[in-house]
Structure 1
């Protein structure tokens, strides 16, 4: 366990930094039940801080129930947090691997993976689209045809930036949908938007670098930035997007490397940044010399015929915006396809990072997606998908209104895949999840979407990932759980 403290740019005390470093590892299950933490004196020596500083951090963790401190024996991870682990096969006795605890790792946080491993029949935790709403048959038949016609497609790499024909087709798509004019030479195919975020973090973020992120925020983005040791400062998400005043205040005090934002159907809240705020955010980036990472995973999936504003990248003239456009969710999560758009030296460095990470995306899946984009099916598919998801959103809304009334509050999303639910402050969504799993339902506890001081009374529920029947059954079980728990 390698802890890196920021003594220059951090707005947090050393005690709080140590506390959150350990807490993130506990909540990511990187520290398992019963694991022994370093002694107070050893950790103080390793971090070059006082014994009192470490003692205060440990005392806070113990007070909040994360660890148990035994006099003369040390501090151990509290076993009751094992109850919150997702179901998985047991690996047997791990005691023979205890020596591995002495190997330092640099993984600060990994909460995304913890919530992708539930095997419950009704899966509201994963933000994906039900497979029967996707062109899976078309893609399967296309892949078979591709392999039959040219088996060597399985034996070839393509260039690191991705298949040139696919990039040209994506270029046409971005131009048609967003009037976004970008040369295909400045586009790179990535393994989903998540890899794009990770490549940015690998390329430009090091220990202590200041990154501004939304609060709450996409869990995978937080994991990627924390994995590089970033000093993350947050700006709250308002009805019209990330709070620009908070960003300006941070920029006046510090020198952020980049701003991460998901401006269209923000994950998890579903909010949409206004066009004016998009322009203003770009102006802030230009003023302070900051990169913007624009995550556009589901911007095409709007409801009520309300087309969202153009991407921030549309107004970018000086290379401040790294634009990540996802194709996985609306087409095929299994194909893991997105495009990264950037320019200048920034783009060159990202291509180098991609080559180091995995050389290139598989050519077979790229060619399959290319066939679908070239067909006459893409835009009718998106229209049908928007209608299907809007119907699901409305069904869930009507069910909540009828059966839950004012027990919960939530924002009605104008697009995307999720609804963001707020419980009364005194209730804990993680404890509710444990009960939900017993009833074969899962959801994402909102605490996973917070960087620091997680608010535990929020839930992200995906209405897109199950069948219509499962949606009804899951909504009923979820409502029963809420009613019984909030009495």
Structure 2
């Protein structure tokens, strides 16, 4: 159930419990709250309506007596009829809650569902968000870009399965600058990296296949592969990235079909896989027959004078690496433009699956992306973003030094969005998440990337403003100390 944004009116002549009863009855009879749906706890509902518990209980008792809801011992309260007074006149409505529970796609963890919802609350300080602040996005350039498109022939129809040739040609030239040779015929335009993962899971892997990946990993926070019946097995990491020495044993032990990696500014740890380890990984994967899925989302966001090591795909001479790139992390998440690079038969297979699911990415977004690269704006924008992100990273590191030095250890990322923080104390990260939320601070606890990461946080310096960042980091340090004191 989404957040309830209605409150009873204390100044009304209608008693509060009757207002609540009427509100809930309207939700049920309209079908918005479906038969079979479980209501939040009495405490949660009372807090949402901002009334005391006895007032809420009166409303629930009236709804129960009328046959709308029923409570079960230890099982909460459930909606049982949407029009109980007419239940004998017509068949009951479908139990949509049962359909929801039977769906094949896994639901997000409750924590992730809360994060996804609260990221749209303008009052929240978003200290875990994996996207650029609106003030860092190229608002003016994109406005000019669409003005230029408006003077041209606007593409309003469907495009070919692979994506427009104009955009694939621009992506091909863009990739050449980082050492990846990919003619347009080997590039598929997708609606962001997440769609690429969904297409790969549906089009290339058998149900029950096993995928190896870094532990922790971004993939643990989404269910693109698990919902398709894949198993994810984590490989240990160190300061140089994924530990290649374990790959062959894990491949043999789990009969793995694919290895997923974010070698450059890894999400969530910020780690960069060393050049030697990249070459060792390619040699090992080729020898044991294990293809690689490389996620290059952050590789353009370095902070030093030198770029990170080349992508795995740039070093690949045997066609063993599928490469996924995106515009979401640097230009605009709203454009929903990404790409997959791979052998032509693979790309054609994925394109066929894509046409079956959405009949091609937005033609307007593709035209805008082609114009963005073609106008030469990308390189300059990247330089600007690197400088601004470095300033934000330095600010967060200073705040960590000032307020967290006796609470945690952390990485110092050389690029990307994230700082991976490990607390000294064994406190409940779920409690920290909830307490922070009540204070208007949204964080990403480590357990959404690895269930065993019970002392970790992924802090993002990409979204919150500097003043917000300072206030939130100080408030979090106080909360950590408070929760620790309560737990000892």
TM-score normalised per structure 1 = 0.77
Equivalent residue number for residue 473 of structure 1: 471
Q: Which of residues 92, 96, 121 is equivalent to 1:100?
A: 96
Q: Report the equivalent of 1:39.
A: none
Residue 393 of structure 1 pairs with residue 393 of structure 2: yes
- Distance change >3 Å, CA 401–CA 221, structure 1 → 2: closer
- SS at 2:308's partner residue? coil
**1:139 corresponds to 2:142:** yes
User: Matches of 1:94 and 1:239 in 2, distance apart?
Assistant: 54
- Pick one of 128, 131, 138 that aligns with 2:131: 128
Which residue of structure 2 aligns with residue 349 of structure 1? 349
Q: Where in structure 2 are the equivalents of 1:339-378 lying within 5 Å?
A: 339-378=339-378
8 Å contact 2:125–2:440 — kept in the other structure?
Answer: yes
Larger of the two Rg values belongs to structure:
2
Point out where structure 2 has 5 or more consecutive residues left out of the alignment. Answer: 1-35, 41-71, 83-92
Give the alignment of 1:97-176 within 5 angstroms. Answer: 99-103=95-99, 104-111=102-109, 113-118=113-118, 119=121, 120-151=123-154, 153=155, 155-176=156-177
Give the drift of 1:306: 3.8
> Structure 1 residues 236, 114: CA separation in 2 closer, same or farther (over 3 Å shift)?
farther
What is the match of residue 455 of structure 1? Answer: 453
Cα shift readout 1:151-188 (whole Å, capped 9, x = no counterpart): 4x2x3111121121111111111112x12211111011
Partner-residue secondary structure (3-state), 1:115: helix
Determine the structure 2 residue equivalent to 1:223.
223
CA contact (8 A) 1:188 1:339 kept: yes
Q: For 2:330, what is the secondary structure of its paired residue? A: helix
Match of 1:464 in 2: 462
In 1, the alpha carbon distance for the partners of 2:348 and 2:181 equals 19
Q: 1:276 to 1:471 in 2, by over 3 A?
A: same
Instruction: Indicate the residue corresponding to 1:43 in structure 2.
Output: none
**Which digits, 9 at most, give the CA deviation of each residue in 1:418-468, with x for residues without a partner?**
111112352122210100111111011111102xx4322211111101223
8 Å CA contact 2:418–2:458 kept in 1: the answer is yes
What is the distance in 2 between the residues matched to 1:345 and 1:375?
Answer: 31
Aligned twin of 1:430: 430
How far residue 127 of structure 1 moved from its aligned partner, in angstroms, is 0.3
Q: CA 1:108/1:376 → structure 2, altered by over 3 Å: closer, same or farther?
A: closer
Q: Within 5 A, what are the aligned runs for 1:186-201?
A: 186-201=186-201
Which SS does the other structure have where 1:322 is aligned?
Answer: strand
Deviation at 1:145, TM superposition (A): 3.8
**Structure 1: 5+ residue stretches without partners:** 1-30, 36-72, 80-91
Equivalent residue, structure 2, for 1:57:
none
* Distance apart, 1:220 and its partner CA: 6.3
Distance verdict in 2 for CA 1:475–1:161, change over 3 Å: same
Contact preservation (8 Å) 1:260, 1:292? yes
The residue that corresponds to 1:257 in the other structure is: 257
Q: Residues 376 and 34 from structure 1, CA distance in 2 versus in 1: closer, same or farther, beyond 3 angstroms? A: closer
Tell whether the 8 Å contact from 1:116 to 1:126 is kept in structure 2 after alignment. Answer: no
Pairwise CA distance, 1:94:
8.6
Instruction: Mark the CA change 1:94 to 1:196 in structure 2 (over 3 Å): closer, same or farther.
Output: farther
Change (3 A) 1:32 1:447: farther
How many angstroms apart in 1 are the aligned matches of 2:422 and 2:151?
A: 51
Secondary structure of the residue aligned to 1:116 is helix
- Give, in angstroms, the shift of residue 123 of structure 1: 1.0
Q: In structure 2, how many angstroms separate the alpha carbons of the residues matched to 1:383 and 1:234?
A: 34
For the residues of structure 2 that align with 1:432 and 1:95, how far apart are their CA atoms?
38
Partner of 2:4: none
- Structure 1 residue 308 corresponds to structure 2 residue 311: no
Cα gap change, 1:308 to 1:75, in 2 (>3 Å): farther
Aligned with 2:382: secondary structure? helix
CA distance in 2 between partners of 1:342 and 1:102 (Å): 40
The whole-number CA distance in structure 2 between the counterparts of 1:330 and 1:94 is: 48
Q: Distance in 1 between matches of 2:477 and 2:296?
A: 31
Q: State the match for 1:10 in structure 2.
A: none
SS at match of 1:223: coil
Work out the number of aligned pairs and report it: 402
Moved over 6 A (4+): 31-35, 92-95
Q: Please, what is the CA RMSD of the aligned residues?
A: 2.5
State the alpha-carbon separation in 1 of the partners of residues 325 and 37 from structure 2.
Answer: 36
- Give the whole-Å Cα distance in 1 for the aligned partners of 2:452 and 2:297: 24
Q: Is the alpha carbon distance of 1:425 and 1:293 closer, same or farther for their aligned partners in structure 2, counting shifts above 3 Å? A: farther
Deviation for aligned residue 1:122: 0.8
How far is 1:249 from its partner?
A: 0.9
Contact kept, 8 Å, 1:392 with 1:463, in 2: the verdict is yes
Deviation at 1:375, TM superposition (A): 2.1
